[in-house]
Structures are given as C-alpha cells and as structure tokens.
C-alpha cells in the first residue's frame, strides 16, 4: 500500500471520524503531490466521504491561512512573552519552555485570529479575487545558459 493511502487510512480518517459528529463529508485540502493523486488514495477518500480539494499549483503559499495569519501573531506573542519574562529576570529553559510557549500560543491562536486568516486568504467566505490573475501565469525560466553540476574534465588529485 502506498504511503499516501496509508496515511489517509491510518491517521487522517480515524482522527477526523471521531470528531465528525455531524456525519457530513470531511474536506481534505492538499497540495498536488503525486502521492495524493493515486487511484487508491482517491478511491479510499470517496468510500469514506472525504472530499479532496487540491490547491492550485504555484498558489499554495497564498492558500495557507495558518502561515499567513496565525503563525505571524504567534511569533509576535512569543517574542513579547520572552521579553516580559526576561524583564522579570526569569530564564526560559527546558524545564519551563512549554509553559511560556503555551501562554503565547493561547494568545495567538484565537477563533478571531484563525477566522481572519481564512478570510484573508479568500477561503471562507470564498473570495477567488484574493489571488490575482497573474498568479496563474506559467512560471518563467530565469536561467539562460546551461550549467553542469561538475566540470567537464576532472582535475587530477596529487
């Protein structure tokens, strides 16, 4: 069994099925990695009411609400937590790191922040105009000359 199918069957589906009290289909948002596009993966998803939504190529960075709108605030709250802690002459070490990080995470990961991130990316409410048309243009090659990874002739070792 391929790795993508195994992950879907052993990890994703059991973890989400327990939380899906409504019984509605589950949405799985993916990049277009080839392990997600196999017949076995898609057949398993269809059989278990998992809707697969593949992100548009070259726009994935624009469609990741956590990267755009959640981890930035986490970075800010973590820095503030470190500054406040150091002003109190308390050292953050292995034995208390998770305590302080958790406090920063609780401040940053709010419903309001998460909803705003999904809105900013145009995922919910759906707003396709967030990603501009030029993002769908094919990638341009920037290299104009060929390059070899190693010299054509190897120098002799002394």
What is the C-alpha to C-alpha distance for residues 40 and 43, in angstroms, rounded to an integer? 5
Largest Cα separation within the chain, whole Å, is: 73
The H-assigned helical ranges of 8-64 are 13-19, 39-47
Supply the pLDDT for residue 68. Answer: 74
Supply 87's token pair: 């002003």
Which is nearest to 96 in space by CA: 81, 76, 111? 81
**Under 8 Å CB-to-CB from 1, ≥6 apart: which residues?**
9, 40
Report phi then psi at 51, rounded to 5: -90, 125
Supply the pLDDT for residue 58. Answer: 64
**pLDDT tens digit string along 36-76?**
778 999 999 999 999 998 877 666 777 778 887 889 899 99
**Residue stretches of the chain with pLDDT short of 70:** 1, 35, 57-59, 136, 138-158
Supply the pLDDT for residue 109. Answer: 93
pTM: 0.53
Supply the pLDDT for residue 8. Answer: 93
What is the C-alpha to C-alpha distance for residues 41 and 57, in angstroms, rounded to an integer? 20
**Contact 4/36 with Cβ under 8 angstroms?**
yes
Q: How would you class 8 by CB atoms within 10 Å of its CB: exposed for 0-12, middle for 13-18, buried for 19 or more?
A: buried
**Contact 63/121 with Cβ under 8 angstroms?**
yes
């Amino acid at each position: 069994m391929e790795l993508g199918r195994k992950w879907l069957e052993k990890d994703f589906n059991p973890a989400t099925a327990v939380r899906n009290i409504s019984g509605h289909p589950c949405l799985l948002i993916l990049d277009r990695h080839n392990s997600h596009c196999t017949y076995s993966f898609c057949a398993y998803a269809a059989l278990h009411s998992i809707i697969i939504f593949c992100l548009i190529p070259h726009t994935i960075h624009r469609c990741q609400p956590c990267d755009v709108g959640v981890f930035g605030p986490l970075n800010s709250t973590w820095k503030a937590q470190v500054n406040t802690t150091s002003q109190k002459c308390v050292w953050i070490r292995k034995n208390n790191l998770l305590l302080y990080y958790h406090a920063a995470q609780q401040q940053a990961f709010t419903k309001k922040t998460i909803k705003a991130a999904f809105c900013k990316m145009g995922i919910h409410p759906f707003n396709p105009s967030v990603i501009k048309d030029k993002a769908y243009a094919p990638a341009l090659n920037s290299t104009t000359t060929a390059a070899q990874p190693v010299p054509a002739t190897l120098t002799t070792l002394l």
